[in-house]
Structure 1
Amino acid sequence: MTEATRRTPGTPCWVSLMVHGLDATQEFYATLFGWEFEPGPQQLGPYVRALLDGREVAGIGQLPPDRHLPVAWTTYLATDDAGESAETIRCCGGTVAVGPLEAGDAGRMAICADPAGAVFGLWQAKAHLGTAKAGPAGTPVWNELLTYETGSVAKFYRSVFAYEAEPLVSAGHDYVTLRLDGRPVAALHGVGTGLPRDRGAHWMTYFEVGDVDAAARLVAELGGQVLRPPREGTAGRPVLVADPEGAVFTLVQAEDGEADPPRVL
């Protein structure tokens, strides 16, 4: 995918980060990924869109000074009707914390949580269709929910977005690939007691890099943290990192050729 296209409902279409220090965060990601920035919708307050080769790949906004919320990347799932999806989420045991609200002519959004507490966004596209570039270094390439167990939460996401759920048939692994029209778009990973107590269930964004070892070193040099060193995965070499404000994300170095989703077990 090289240009933004309208996504099937349920497809991850955007990732966004709300931080306390917008300027410092821009500097971190500009150096790490080569991002440039342009102003985003004024309705979202201080907010910028990250660009790679002139195309939008992610968003970063500034938290109000009096809001002491966890700093984390948020995965947005596409919808044709944010209001209808929000109501379905409520009916299925989830919560809607923000919205739906208008983001100018860009679209409509809402911030929600599944029954296990994992936060995600809804995006009803108008002028802004979402991430316009995927694949090159510095772009989000995969989104995965880390939760205690996948059984009940899989029912929730299937009810809201009509995913086809494909469990991994393997002893000791609780992993479900979510498909739309037969294509893998995201995954649910049950990690049991391995779920971080300070974060709970959460969506994880994977960003592709050309050299994961060099990228991990750069994260540390820029004031971030390497939380789990690079290791071999089923597709590429992932490394778990955090930016200087503590937002956790995964860097993955894809193998040559066509790669499967970067499943990490």
Structure 2
Amino acid sequence: MTEAVSRRTPGTPCWVSLIVHGLSATQDFYGALFGWEFKPGPEQLGPYVRGRLQGEEIAGIGQLPPDRHLPIAWTTYLATDDADATAETIRSCGGTVAVGPLDAGPAGRLAIASDPNGAVFGIWQAARHAGTHLWGAPGTPVWNELITRETSSVAKFYQAVFGYEAQAVVSADFDYQTLHLDGRPVAALHGVGHALPRDRGPHWMTYFEVEDTDVAAARVVELGGHILQPPREGTSGRLATVSDPEGAAFTIVRSGER
């Protein structure tokens, strides 16, 4: 399903990007795994490409300067109508703005921030580039979820910044809240307690649709990546958590509704 370029409700996940050391090798990995083709730009972001499927933009991959040693991780971008105002709100609510707000040429304006627990996310004020244009097809992002220790305190932060309505799963042993905008679920918060990976801390997780989770997981390994959590059945379908050769973690899922 192709979505027309239009305003995204603030708080809606609208784009994902990855900054790596080896841009060419990373393109090879995701091109082979998801069938992405790549288009360079915007130039303001340095060496940067946009992965495309069926002529539609899916995700961005950029290159770290050689002297920078940052964690390699997919970043979820949340839509905003005013990146500067949202950056101020993030700060006033206990978050941190690490980069920007800055212009990405005519594409839009962005900032990179973190919530009070340290999970990194982006905000995107669209101009020419509204974000991901293709949803649901294999190779596209289909869900974004914050993996954190516990959800109650950090939920207040995201609700204050973006106006989400949160719906908690009522369970004694499952800490999970779905974030809703305009009456529909757009993302989730998942508290995992002591199961949170020590090497990553709280982080946003991108889910990519695949035709077959087991086949895709095996392909990840063939291409030099790793399986972090093997294929299993979940509420959203059959999923596995994997990482690319540089260690960026993501989840692959064959959604149950397909």
Match of 2:221 in 1: 220
Match of 1:29 in 2: 30
Secondary structure in 2 matching 1:69: coil
Would you say 1:250 and 2:251 are equivalent positions?
yes
- Matched letter for residue 82 of structure 1: A
**How far apart are residue 112 of structure 1 and its match?**
0.1
Match of 2:124 in 1: 123
Would you say 1:66 and 2:67 are equivalent positions?
yes
Q: In the aligned structure 1, how far is the partner of 2:151 from the partner of 2:223?
A: 35
Matched residue count: 257
Do 1:35 and 1:52's aligned partners in 2 also have CA atoms closer than 8 Å?
yes
**How far apart are residue 24 of structure 1 and its match?**
0.3
Would you say 1:232 and 2:251 are equivalent positions?
no
- Matched letter for residue 42 of structure 1: E
Q: Between the two proteins, what is the percent identity of the paired residues?
A: 72
Match of 1:174 in 2: 175
Match of 2:2 in 1: 2
Q: In the aligned structure 2, how far is the partner of 1:135 from the partner of 1:154?
A: 26
Match of 1:138 in 2: 139
Do 1:5 and 1:132's aligned partners in 2 also have CA atoms closer than 8 Å?
no
Do 1:178 and 1:186's aligned partners in 2 also have CA atoms closer than 8 Å?
yes
Secondary structure in 2 matching 1:6: coil
Secondary structure in 2 matching 1:229: strand
Q: In the aligned structure 1, how far is the partner of 2:159 from the partner of 2:253?
A: 27
**How far apart are residue 256 of structure 1 and its match?**
3.9
Q: In the aligned structure 1, how far is the partner of 2:184 from the partner of 2:16?
A: 20
Q: In the aligned structure 1, how far is the partner of 2:186 from the partner of 2:180?
A: 6
TM-score by length of 2: 0.98
Q: In the aligned structure 2, how far is the partner of 1:224 from the partner of 1:112?
A: 27
TM-score by length of 1: 0.96
Q: In the aligned structure 1, how far is the partner of 2:64 from the partner of 2:132?
A: 22
RMSD after superposition: 0.7
Secondary structure in 2 matching 1:132: coil
**How far apart are residue 254 of structure 1 and its match?**
1.2
Match of 2:210 in 1: 209
Instruction: Give matches, 1:177-192, under 5 Å.
Output: 177-192=178-193
- Matched letter for residue 174 of structure 1: D
- Matched letter for residue 2 of structure 1: T
Secondary structure in 2 matching 1:127: coil
Could you tell me which runs of 5 or more consecutive residues in structure 2 were left unpaired when the two chains were aligned. none
